[in-house]
Amino acid sequence: MVKRYAFSMIELIFAIVIIAVTMLSLPMMTDVTSKGSERNMEGDEAIFEAYVKAVEATDKKFADLTGVASTSVLEAGAATSKTGFKFGHNYSITVTSPATFAGVTSANIKKVTVTILDSNGNVITRLYTYKFNM
C-alpha cells in the first residue's frame, strides 16, 4: 500500500459542500440578527418617547393636569417620523385623581400614565409617574 499525502476526491467534495452550506446560511443569520436589533430599537424608542411625554405632562401646574376628580385623557396622538422617531407610535396620557401612592390616597396626588402603542394597537410600554400638590 502506498502512503498518500493529498486529499481524495470525496474529501474535497465534502469540504465544498460544508463550505457551501455555511455560505448559504450566513444571509439568514444576519437577517434574524437585524430583525432582533430592530425590535430592540423600537422598544428603546418607545420607552424614550414615554419618558419625554411623562416629563412634558408633569411639567404642567398641578391644577392644569386635569379638571375632574377621576380618570381623564390629558392628551392622545401619534408620534411619527416627522417628530424624529423612526417608528410610528400612538400614545395616550391619562391622569388619575385622586391617586394612591405608598398606600395613601389623596386628592393632592395625581397619577400620570403614559401608554405607547404600536400601529396595531398593542401596548409597547406603559410608564407611570406621580404629581404631588405640596
Domain spans in the chain, listed from the N-terminal domain onward: 9-132
Contact 42, 124 (CB under 8 A): yes
Q: Write the CB contacts of 104 (distance below 8 Å, at least 6 apart in sequence).
A: none
Q: Counting beta carbons within 10 angstroms of the beta carbon of residue 99, is it exposed (0 to 12), middle (13 to 18) or buried (19 or more)?
A: buried
Q: What is residue 106's predicted lDDT score, i.e. its pLDDT?
A: 86
Q: Counting beta carbons within 10 angstroms of the beta carbon of residue 54, is it exposed (0 to 12), middle (13 to 18) or buried (19 or more)?
A: middle
Other beta carbons within 10 angstroms of residue 53's beta carbon come to: 23
Please report which confidence band the pLDDT of residue 17 belongs to, taking 50, 70 and 90 as the band edges.
very high
Q: What is residue 70's predicted lDDT score, i.e. its pLDDT?
A: 45
Confidence check: pLDDT of 132 > 70: yes
Q: Counting beta carbons within 10 angstroms of the beta carbon of residue 90, is it exposed (0 to 12), middle (13 to 18) or buried (19 or more)?
A: middle
Q: What is residue 66's predicted lDDT score, i.e. its pLDDT?
A: 61
Please report which confidence band the pLDDT of residue 20 belongs to, taking 50, 70 and 90 as the band edges.
very high
More confident residue, 76 or 39: 39
Q: What is the mean pLDDT of residues 57-78?
A: 62
Confidence check: pLDDT of 68 > 80: no
Q: Give the 3-state secondary structure of residue 2.
A: coil
Note the pLDDT tens digit of each residue in 91-129. 888 888 888 888 888 888 888 888 888 878 888 889 998
Contact 127, 113 (CB under 8 A): yes
More confident residue, 87 or 50: 50
